[in-house]
Amino acid sequence: MNKLPKRKRTRLKEYDYSKYGFYFVTICIKNRREFFSRVVNSNIVLSKYGLIVDQILKTLSDFYSVEIDYYVIMPDHLHLILILDNGLRGKNHSLSNIIGKFKSYCTKKIRENLTNPNEFEWQKSFFDRIIRNEKELFQIRKYIDENPLKWELEKVNPDNLMM
């Protein structure tokens, strides 16, 4: 029998992920394929697929009780700070539900623009972290800002990946 490897649980037990809060989310493309952008002189240059993701991110609050506080669309992944406030609308959505719908809609729109629709696929699941205080929020915003610079450094000198 082909058993899948056990994944480490990153979620807090018994935490309600539909509760108001700031969440740091990272979503990757399957096999870390560079699809969304290029990094040129530490600046992000979005591809047409990155522009689709950007547009969908900017309209997420039209459909869900969320605000996108900060984000960066890297070549093979994206980081975002999402503020979830289900008190704004009648229907509560969990973080997983919102990210699942976001990924599904992006996939649909991106595949409409591909000759081979199977060319694009998200990595399963996503990484999230509950942001607990202002200091952590500041540090995560800084990490998001510096991500394009780190990308270039790691591409030029792969040894930096081990640091």
pTM above 0.95, yes or no: no
Distances (CA, A) of 23 to 59, 80, 129, 133: 18, 8, 6, 11
The full set of domains in the chain, from first to last, is: 21-162 (3.30.70.1290)
pLDDT score of 139: 97
Kindly report, residue by residue over 106-154, the tens digit of the pLDDT.
999 999 999 998 899 999 999 999 999 999 999 999 999 999 998 877 7
Q: Both tokens of residue 95?
A: 């973080």
Neighbours of 5 (CB within 10 A): 5
Closest CA to 79 of 146, 31, 136, 133: 146
34-90 pLDDT, tens digit each:
999 999 988 999 999 999 999 999 999 999 989 999 999 999 999 999 999 877 565
Is the Cβ–Cβ distance between 21 and 65 less than 8 Å? no
